[in-house]
Structure 1
Amino acid sequence: MRQEDFFAILVIIAINLSYTYSGPNNLHLSDGTSTAELISGDVFFEIVEPEVLEYTYRLKPAKDFGIPFNKSIEFKHILLVPAQPRHACTDLTNIDDIEGNVAFIERGDCSFKKKTIIAEKAGARAVIITDTNKENEEYYVEMIDDDLTTDVNIPAGFLIGRNGIMIMNQLRRLNMKYAVINLPVNLTFTPVHKINQPPWLDW
């Protein structure tokens, strides 16, 4: 093999290795994007218990309803409690667990806003909604306002289904009624490669 051909092959290999596949949920990009640019508009929370779920998770905040996840919202070691019934389209039956905590609700049967109104009525301080349909587990959903006139006074965000399914399944497996979370967490100055993403997401 000629020397120039050998070096050409090395260059091609180096170029290929310099790119990292970026699926729809992959935060580990190699294009020089800063963390601040990457997470602009998104909200993050971390699970601190149970150990098997101790990762950082990304939320898309609701549009046009609820209050924002701003500086006045800071929940430390608050409980993330699956709603009962799970779609939260009727009054919740586990109010004692939901009150003062974050309601974890499954998508379906009614609007995002209605779910949030019902959770707020039960005393939730925030809402996280996820899609547990395997067909939709890869996608974020825009949570928009609807024609309900009731005001919403708590923040709400959408969690991608792959994360939601894993969290729900692990809580059931461990026979736990809740996870313990910090919401939100500030990742503005955290290098992208150091964000503690769940290992089951695309890298």
Structure 2
Amino acid sequence: MAKVVRTTALILYLWSVLMQFNRTSGLGINELLYFRVISPEDIGYIFSAAPAKDFGGDFTSSYDEIFLVPADPADGCSDLEDRAIIQGQIVLMERGGCSFVQKARHVEEAGGKAVLIADNVVDNDSQYLDMITDGSTAKPSIPALFLLGRDGMMIRRSLQRQALPWAVISIPVMFPLWPHSH
């Protein structure tokens, strides 16, 4: 009986935390999309990202293993280098320099499947931005997602430290709502 009460109390506590998160961030938990870093292993976590509000497509399939390639140039505001690597993969960019739409368009033109745009405020660990269109008529159709600055920095630092050209990720992944034993 005591175990049931403790479990119920835990569930209620977690629910209240989720509801608090919804109110403070402005985004519902189901408005976020999750991806898991498979490699490098030192950042083998599940990260969350916020899909663009009024441009970009949805993931029509999930990818068990796909490259997350840092953009060159990092802000993605001019034609991307390494098009052969970007083709069919996901690109990681930094915010700033041009509109979110321009960044996504450059990735789409280079044959990328999606773009993750990390905040340029590297200590941002909680504020998601609403990525909205810049008013241009040619809207990109690939998924465009906003990544917290802290998470983008963590991924880039790990790749630089290990001299890796890309991370390997699974996207999207279902958020594991309840911990389970193996």
Judge same fold: TM > 0.5, yes or no.
yes
Indicate which of 16, 19, 24 corresponds to 1:31.
16
Question: How far, CA to CA, are the matches of 1:135 and 1:54 in structure 2?
Answer: 20
Q: 1:92·1:122 contact (CA, 8 Å) conserved in 2?
A: yes
Instruction: Establish whether residue 57 from structure 1 lines up as the match of residue 42 from structure 2.
Output: no
Please, what is the CA RMSD of the aligned residues?
2.3
Q: 1:43 aligned to 2:28?
A: no
Which residue of structure 2 lines up, in the alignment, with residue 161 of structure 1? 149
Q: How does the TM-score come out when normalised to structure 1?
A: 0.73
Query: Normalising to structure 2: TM-score of the pair?
Result: 0.81
Partner in structure 2 of residue 106 of structure 1: 94
User: Who wins on radius of gyration, i.e. which is larger?
Assistant: 1
The equivalent residue for 2:3 is none
Aligned to 1:143: 131
Matched, 1:171 2:171: no
C-alpha contact 2:62 2:172 (8 A) present in aligned 1 = yes
What does the per-residue CA deviation read over 1:66-105, in whole Å, with 9 as the maximum and x for residues that have no partner?
A: 1123xx2311200000000000000001111111100101
Corresponding residue number in structure 2 for 1:25? none
- Deviation of 1:139 (Å): 2.2
Q: In structure 1, list runs of 5 or more residues that go unmatched.
A: 1-17, 20-27, 195-203
After TM superposition, give the deviation of residue 31 of structure 1 in Å. 2.2
How many residue pairs are counted as aligned between the two chains? 163
Residue 148 of structure 1, CA deviation: 1.5
Instruction: Name the % identity.
Output: 37
Structure 2 SS opposite 1:59 = strand
The aligned counterpart of 1:127 is 115
